[in-house]
């Protein structure tokens, strides 16, 4: 049930909470040390990941607030702090592929497909459109997707042989 609701293993969740505890996004004045307790970080992260994992009917802030037993403002705040903390960790956690990894990925693509020309493409991109509630007032054409609505895309760039994420794109 834990993996289904939070979409992470308990070990990965705990490791992420420990890393987020050290970010500025979680340095609130809740204690004399200025460091938020790990239990509080885990609660905030749990609520934010639950909200981020929901979509469609039941994917709104009010629905998440009812499920998690907290206010809508808390849902928004928890999500904002979690995303801010994840962005702080981005440069530490995510590093682009080295030259050796690039060569290995290109060779893997050639071997896996049998098409030598495809070895020039050594990265895989996968993403999703996040629908916007309203048409943006500025640059609305750039946010109009092929599915016929305004959205922001979130994409991950990965190495095909290891599925390691080397870059993330939001825009």
Q: Is the confidence at residue 89, as pLDDT, over 60?
A: yes
Q: pLDDT category, 23, cuts 50, 70, 90?
A: very high
Q: Is the confidence at residue 43, as pLDDT, over 70?
A: yes
Q: Is the confidence at residue 118, as pLDDT, over 60?
A: yes
Q: Is the confidence at residue 56, as pLDDT, over 80?
A: no
**What are the angstrom distances between the C-alpha of 146 and each of 129, 138, 142, 155?**
10, 19, 11, 16
Q: Is the confidence at residue 19, as pLDDT, over 90?
A: yes
The helix, strand and coil proportions of the chain, stated in percent and rounded to the nearest 5, come to 50, 15, 35
Strand partners, 128: 154
pLDDT at residue 33, as a whole number: 65
Query: What is the tens place of the pLDDT at every residue in 92-116?
Result: 878 889 999 999 999 999 999 888 8
Q: Phi, psi at residue 110, to the nearest 5°?
A: -60, -45
pLDDT at residue 2, as a whole number: 59
Q: How far apart are CA 9 and CA 14, in angstroms?
A: 9
Tell me which of 84 and 138 has the higher pLDDT. Answer: 84
Mean pLDDT for 37-50 is 90
pLDDT at residue 106, as a whole number: 92
Mean pLDDT for 23-39 is 78
Q: How far apart are CA 61 and CA 103, in angstroms?
A: 44
Q: pLDDT category, 57, cuts 50, 70, 90?
A: low
């Amino acid at each position: 049930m834990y993996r289904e609701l939070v979409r992470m293993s308990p070990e990965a969740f705990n490791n992420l909470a420990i890393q987020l505890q050290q970010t500025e996004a979680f340095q609130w004045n809740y204690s004399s040390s200025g460091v938020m307790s790990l239990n509080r970080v885990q609660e905030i992260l749990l609520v934010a990941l639950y909200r981020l994992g929901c979509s469609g009917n039941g994917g709104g802030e009010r629905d998440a607030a009812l499920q998690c037993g907290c206010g809508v403002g808390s849902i928004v705040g928890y999500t904002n702090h979690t995303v801010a903390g994840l962005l702080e960790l981005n440069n530490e956690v995510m590093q682009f592929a080295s030259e050796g990894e690039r060569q290995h990925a290109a060779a893997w693509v050639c071997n896996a497909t049998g098409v030598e020309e495809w070895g020039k493409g050594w990265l895989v991109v996968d993403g999703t459109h996040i629908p916007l509630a309203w048409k943006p007032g500025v640059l609305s054409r750039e946010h109009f997707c092929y599915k016929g609505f305004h959205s922001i895309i979130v994409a991950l760039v990965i190495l095909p042989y290891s599925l390691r994420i080397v870059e993330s794109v939001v825009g």
